[in-house]
Amino acid sequence: MRRHDLNEFLDDYLDDEHADDGSRRRGSRARRGEPNEVFDPQSTRSGRLTEHERARLAALRDSAETAPELPPDTDRWTTWGDGERGPHPRPEWVVTELAAADTELGVVKTGKEADVHLVRRAVPGTDRACLMAAKRYRSNEHRLFHRDAGYLEGRRVRRSREMRAMANRTAFGRNLIAEQWTVAEFAALSRLWSVGVPVPYPVQRSGTELLMEFVGEADGTAAPRLAETRPDPDELVELWHQLVAALDVLASHGMTHGDLSAYNLLVHDGRLVLIDLPQIVDVVANPRGPEFLARDVANVMGWFRSRGLSEQVADPAEVTASLLVSAGLD
């Protein structure tokens, strides 16, 4: 498969607009010279919602007024009919019935930009149910997004007013950042899952909430992060080979994780899973792409070395050089 242009791919997602009938109109609107209304160009007041988000919330309010009473011990009706949905072929475990309801089961992980909650989606009166991780970006508390500039080089935001709002970190700008990073992570997960990178399946995105496959046990116990594991020598080597294979697929499609460490890799039933991908980097379009790739390798290599992986098995310079070749940069 030819390498996908990540820059254009993310632009398509950032330019998507939902029509009144629920269909999606792709970013080609902008290329035809028509206005794009995902972000409100008139928004100058602090914290003002985008037109798209305002319409979405109004629709939710209207549907809530006419919806039947929720089943006992549930928190909301399914949001499957709202927002973007994950790629095909869709796993059978995904509950798509509009009669389903969601139940909040607790917090899986807290962070400075987003929290991850455990959600059970089930169809009342049936055995159709699934567990999902709900990643919810906070729209006005993004303390770590000072790194935006480096990660987003090579991506484009077309409106200078929006760029200024994000650069100045106004309340409206932070809302835009939260939405942009949610869209970027959903786009990245969709692309990576489609090409075979071990990532959670992205179920759907609604506003700044990203619902994805829960990686863990049926009882709601989350899979441990790589940093929390103590693999034996054979397991360590196997996990390393899995990681290099995943990074090679990423590189062959012109991408690198951008913030890779032992803390955003999960281990479930001996399988390595990459998570936390809003800052994914296009190693070709981003002038610092090779630098980010080399840093990803060095960061995770340090953990494997600390657990006893030999330099003969894992040479960071050699791995980085190989990945740059896969990315077509050497």
- Whether residue 53 contacts residue 179, with contact meaning beta carbons closer than 8 Å, is answered with yes
For residue 62, indicate whether it is catalytic: no
303: region left, alpha or beta (phi > 0 left; psi from -120 to 50 alpha): alpha
Tell me phi and psi for residue 70, to 5 degrees. Answer: -65, 145
DSSP structure string for 69-138:
PPPTT--EE--TTSSEEPPSSPPTTS---TT-EEEEEEEEE--SSEEEEEEEEE-TTSS-EEEEEEEEE-
Q: In the 8-state DSSP scheme, what is residue 327?
A: T
Of 278, 265, 277, 275, residue with least CA distance to 304: 265
Q: In the 8-state DSSP scheme, what is residue 25?
A: E
For residue 259, indicate whether it is catalytic: yes
- Whether residue 319 contacts residue 298, with contact meaning beta carbons closer than 8 Å, is answered with no
Dist CA 304 CA 258 (whole Å): 18
Write down the residue that tokens 């281990």 correspond to.
267
Tell me phi and psi for residue 83, to 5 degrees. Answer: 95, -165
Q: In the 8-state DSSP scheme, what is residue 4?
A: P
> Which of 82, 102, 148, 259 is the catalytic position?
259
- Count Cβ atoms below 10 Å from residue 90 Cβ, excluding itself: 12
> Which of 276, 282, 296, 315 is the catalytic position?
276
Q: In the 8-state DSSP scheme, what is residue 196?
A: T
Dist CA 233 CA 307 (whole Å): 8
- Whether residue 52 contacts residue 41, with contact meaning beta carbons closer than 8 Å, is answered with no
| Radius of gyration, CA atoms only, the chain | 20
Question: What are the catalytic residues?
Answer: 259, 276
